[in-house]
Chains A and B, each alone.
Chain A
Amino acid sequence: MTDWQGIVATHSGVVWRTVYRLLGNHQDAADCFQETFLSALDVARRQPVRSWPSLLTCLATARALDRMRRRMRDGARSADVAELKSVASPEPGPDQRAETAELVRMFRELVVRLPDRQAEVFCLRYGSEMSYREIAREMGLKTSDVGVLLHRARGRLRELMEPAEGPCGPEVMP
């Protein structure tokens, strides 16, 4: 049997951080947290797990992106107001707080507009800071494919950011 309790206890932190950062609220993060671990268990019964942290980070990212896309289709914002207000460095001034919050909002809203794989690779590389090799291994890609996906993701994000220079531009917001 898998030491399930041990795995959850050991890796709950990384999964929680991954899903919460993307989803930005407790309820969705809690649901996604459970989905991630159950997905991992499903994977583990079909194949050996080489790295639980990598697998869980990938799964958490994918599940969170799925949930964000559903939310976007439902017309909801990617994070609640209270959460956005809490995004701040330790001692920020009001303007800096607003700018940071805007960057986070932009990240969340634009990344879900990327094709699935590009979004996942981008979040794993720039959100979770996984290496090309780790991403490639967990997603079953070549390392070079990861580079291509990242390049395309950045290109697409640049295009999406262009009209989003103004806050909450209508071209960007759903």
Chain B
Amino acid sequence: MSKPEPEKIDLAAKAFRDVPVPAGPPPEILAATVAAGKAFEADIHKTIVQRRRYLMKSLARVAAAIILVAGLGIGTYALLVHGSTVAFAQVRDLLEQMQTMTCRIHMSYPAAEGRPMEMDIRRKVLGARGQMASEGRPMEMDIRASYSLPYLMRQEIAVTGIPGTGPVTLINVYDLQAGKAISLHPNEKTAMMMNLGQLPPELLKKKTQNFAEEMKKLVEKDGVPIGHKEIGGTEAAGFRVTHEGVVTDLWVDNAKAEKLLLVEMDMPGQGHIRMSDIVINPPLDAALFSLAVPAGYHEMPALDIPLENLTEDDLIAGLRFLAQNNDNTFPAAPNMTPKIVKNLEKRLQPAVGLSDEEIAKSIALGQKEIGTRIGRLTIFLQVNSGTFRYVGNGVKLGDAAAPVCWYKPKDAALYRVVYGDLSAANIAEAELPKVEASRPPQESPDDQAAPTVEISPSAKTTGSWNIDNDGWDFEGVTALALAAQVYSSPEHQTKADGALPQGHFDVHVQASKKGESFQELQAVAQHALERQLGLTVRHERRKMSVYLLQAPNGKNDALRPTSGGGQRCSGGTGGQVRTVHNMAISEALTPCLAMRLGWPVLDETGIKGAFDYQLALPAEASFEAIAKAVRDGLGFELAPAERELDVLIVKWNGQPLKSGPANGSRP
């Protein structure tokens, strides 16, 4: 067998390399590829958003359950824990007979950024209403709560402000004696049982069973008069009681002292509580407390959040969990903060490739982890609330010298101090650091703080974004795409002038407490792009290839004038029906077509007004297929043309990224 000349392989390879390749690809192939890619990416993005929403709803359900279990006595908390006044004596009889109560509670927590994190609760005991908000707006809860002392409680909660999802409505019903709860999701018609175990007896006793007894103790302590003020048109007399560093102000009706108008508590390192609109004993329907799964609800796997047999290990584990999910720094208060929620969201986000079953399993594990860690920590703090102090704000995880918190175990002579390395030691009360009580924050210039912008390199190469008035989140976006978004420029009308920063970026624009308009957040984000990324923009008129959307004979019979109501545009881009309600052609149809086609689409139909319509877009991304769908569905024609358009030109000054958060003061 003769051996072939080895050179022949190389000659063939060289001839292959030298094959003349015609210019290409043809423009229509390029355009179709761009459009197909965008449609593909839009579907992926939609999947990611859907999964993120699912995850956040799941987390919200657990978080709400924990907060409410932990704060089951929150309506009565301020009254029970410390202090009393002689002038308050007449209130005692009323409270001793209390079976129901309505009140509003506003809680605020110190925040690392200097801005207070707030929790605003309106509650009805046996028919309560509540609202929680944390750090401005990131998480808010409207709660309608009812409970039948001492063990049964029902709370209807609307959670809003969760990143990446809309309002989440939950109904939680608790039987604290049985250690069980059921969480209902009315929108999804799902029910989840939660096994809480037996709550610590001292907590139940403290919060519910021995309420009247606690009230007697309360009225036996004298308070210091702090003057008078008008509350809701009623003149109130105020009394202050200080006990174990906690300052409590009680305001009673000056004319009818049996009416409690306002309670304000200040807990060093943990925040402030303000309870108002207090009404005792509204009527209540006992049927509200059933733990049975309602008809028509799908029962999800039960969640075990054992809250029994608490020890110091639960305090340590909870603090570690918080710090690890807060960039290895202890948060401003020993509870979930918006930053921790966001970090958890990222950490627990199911991988795209997982099946629905795997995702459900992954989320269930996340729920259990959060429920167990935070639930046990919070109950531990409640049990030890009389002596617990938190001073961990900003302490680095691992710092053996900095104390994070301390408490005094029941019947112990010494305090236990926990340090940043999560070691614990016995310390005499006299050696504890001094903690100054502070008053609840008043409206101040700090409340008007500007939004912040944080830009950092991203490990992601596929971008996603979420924009609302609470803030903007971009992840894994290129500099060009970021500029297009921030300057509201269509991507195909955004061009680079020279090189732009390489790689991908995560950008978080956080609105301040007072809440900014879209335009204000946009101005701040634009300023940050210039200052931190070195991107400047200008507008130019350029002749570009476009598609024109035209109406033959200048009319269209397929569109229905809108029936009114809010503007809506829903549906995917990959072979799905797009439903548009009360929107003009240039608001919904041409942007959608531009995204599918990868080229600008201009509205030259000449048809004005808002319409309701549906358009079935093909999965196929070719111009021919889309043009046919538009023609068949709406009677419009798409025609290629050239037009002079406004183009956003992005230029980079070459500076490296100035990473990290920055206050978004206006340019």
Contact = CB atoms under 8 A, between A and B. Distances in A.
Given A87-B15, A103-B16, A16 B24 contact: yes
| Interface size range on A against B | 35 or more
A38 B32 CA distance: 11
A6 interface: yes
Contacts of A4: 34, 37-38, 41
A103 B30 CA distance: 31
A54 to B, nearest CB: 14
Contact of A3 (B11, B13, B29, B481): B481
Given A2-B463, A107-B12, A20 B22 contact: yes
B462 A21 contact: no
Interface in B1-44: 1-4, 6, 8-13, 15-22, 24-26, 29-30, 32-34, 36-38, 40-41, 44
Interface string B392-420: 00000000000000000000000000000
Contacts of A126: 9-10, 13, 16-17
B33 A46 contact: no
A162 interface: yes
Contacts, number: 143
Contact of B478 (A2, A8, A42): A2
B641 interface: no
B24 A48 contact: no
Given A6-B480, A162-B2, A129 B21 contact: no
A59 to B, nearest CB: 13
B480 A3 contact: yes
B331 interface: no
Interface stretch (A66-74, A132-140, A153-161, A166-174): A153-161
B465 interface: yes
Q: Which of A4, A30, A44, A89 has the most CB of B within 10 A?
A: A4
Given A48-B460, A127-B13, A5 B26 contact: no
A115 to B, nearest CB: 16
Contacts of B643: none
A33 B36 CA distance: 12
B461 to A, nearest CB: 5
A83 B309 CA distance: 80
B41 A1 contact: yes
A112 B16 CA distance: 14
A129 B44 CA distance: 34
Interface string B73-87: 000000000000000
B24 A29 contact: yes
A21 B19 contact: yes
B362 interface: no
Interface in A1-53: 1-6, 8-9, 12, 16-17, 20-21, 24, 26, 29-30, 33-34, 37-38, 41-42, 44-49
Contacts of B16: 21, 103-104, 107-108, 126-127
A1 B22 contact: no
Q: Interface on chain A toward B: helix, strand, loop, or mixed SS? A: helix
Given A1-B481, A126-B13, A162-B2, A38 B461 contact: no
Given A104-B19, A107-B12, A34 B480 contact: no
A106 interface: yes
Contact of B20 (A16, A33, A46, A88): A88
Interface in A75-91: 86-89
B447 to A, nearest CB: 35
B554 interface: no
Contacts of B10: 126
Contacts of A154: 6, 9
Contacts of A104: 12, 15-16, 19
Interface in B472-489: 476-478, 480-481
B464 interface: yes
A104 B16 CA distance: 5
Interface in B608-631: none
Interface of A: 1-6, 8-9, 12, 16-17, 20-21, 24, 26, 29-30, 33-34, 37-38, 41-42, 44-49, 86-89, 100, 103-104, 106-108, 110, 126-127, 129, 154, 157-158, 161-162, 165
Given A2-B41, A26-B22, 4 more contacts: A1-B41, A45-B352, A157-B9, A161-B4
23 contacts: A1-B481, A2-B462, A3-B480, A5-B34, A5-B598, A6-B478, A20-B21, A20-B24, A21-B17, A26-B26, A30-B26, A38-B40, A41-B40, A41-B462, A45-B44, A87-B15, A103-B15, A104-B15, A104-B19, A107-B16, A129-B17, A158-B3, A158-B6
